[in-house]
Structure 1
Amino acid sequence: MLFIVVAMLVILLLAGLVVVYAAYPGRGQRTPYAPWLGEAMEKAADALPTVESEEQRDWSLRR
């Protein structure tokens, strides 16, 4: 029972972080009440590898 409660709390925390990122730093705005959190999320997003537009491939089945 305790494992389920802890797992649900972790899931809710991660979902909350995703919502905050999508609402503020993902749009280029500062996070209210916790600017340090927005800065940390921006650093984490910048550190992740991304695919540039020149590197994208068409993975569709149409030719």
Structure 2
Amino acid sequence: MFLILLVLLAAVAVAALVVLYVAYPHRGEEIPRAAWLGDALARGRSALPVLTEDDAHRPLTSRR
């Protein structure tokens, strides 16, 4: 039971980070009272692959 609660709390934490990112750094604004968190989210975006509009219109290729 404790493990399920822990996994659910982790999922809520990740969802909260996504909401914060979309609400502030994605639009070019700083998070009030937590500029360090906005910097960390921006660094994470730089480290991870991001889809662009060109990628959205590109057809999928097979990996054969």
Tell me the TM-score normalized by structure 1: 0.78
CA–CA distance in structure 2, aligned partners of residues 11 and 51 of structure 1: 23
Q: Which runs of 4+ in 1 moved over 2 A?
A: 49-54
TM score, norm. by length of structure 2: 0.77
Q: Which amino acid aligns with 2:7?
A: A
Deviation at 1:33, TM superposition (A): 1.1
Kindly tell me the number of residue pairs found equivalent between the two proteins. 58
Deviation at 1:58, TM superposition (A): 3.9
- Structure showing greater radius of gyration is 1
Gaps of 5+ in 1: none
CA RMSD of aligned residues (A): 1.9
Question: Percent of aligned pairs with the same residue?
Answer: 40
Unaligned runs of 5+ in 2: none
